[in-house]
Amino acid sequence: MRKIAVIGGGSWGTALALALSRSRAPHAISLWVHDAALGELIRTTRHNSIYLPGFALPAEINVTSHMAAALADAEIVLGVIPAAHARSIYTEMLPHLRPGAAIVSGTKGIEHDSLKRMSEVIAEICAGSTDRIAVLSGPSFAREVARGDPTAVAIASRNPNLACELQDEFAGSGFRLYTNDDVIGVEVGGAVKNVIAIAAGVCAGLGLGANSTAALLTRGLAEMTRLAVALGGRRDTLFGLAGLGDLVLTATGELSRNRTVGVELGKGRTLKDILSSMRMIAEGVGTAAATRELARRAKVEMPITEQMYATLYEERPPREAVRELMERRLKSE
- Residues 217-272 pLDDT 10s: 999 999 999 999 999 999 999 999 999 999 999 999 999 999 999 999 999 999 99
* pLDDT of 128 higher than 80: no
pLDDT of residue 127: 78
pLDDT of residue 102: 97
pLDDT-derived band at 104, boundaries 50, 70, 90: very high
pLDDT of residue 312: 97
* pLDDT of 30 higher than 80: yes
The reply to whether domains 2-181 and 184-326 share a CATH topology is no
Hey, which residues are catalytic here? 193
In what helix (H) or strand (E) does residue 102 lie, and over which residues does it extend?
A: strand 102-105
Report the pLDDT averaged over residues 102-127.
95
Residue boundaries of the structural domains of the chain: 2-181, 184-326
Distance CA 250, CA 241 (A): 12
* pLDDT of 281 higher than 90: no
Classify domain 184-326 at the CATH superfamily level.
Answer: N-(1-d-carboxylethyl)-l-norvaline Dehydrogenase; domain 2 (1.10.1040.10)
Q: How many residues does the chain have?
A: 333
The DSSP-derived string for 260-318 is HHHHHHHTT--HHHHHHT-SS--HHHHHHHHHHHHHHHHT---HHHHHHHHHHHS---H
What dihedral do alpha carbons 211, 189, 142, 288 form, nearest 10°? Answer: -80
User: For domain 2-181, which architecture applies?
Assistant: 3-Layer(aba) Sandwich (3.40)
Q: Which residues contact 7 (CB under 8 A, 6 or more apart)?
A: 13, 32, 67, 70, 71, 77, 78, 79, 80, 81, 89, 93
pLDDT of residue 325: 93
pTM, entire model: 0.96
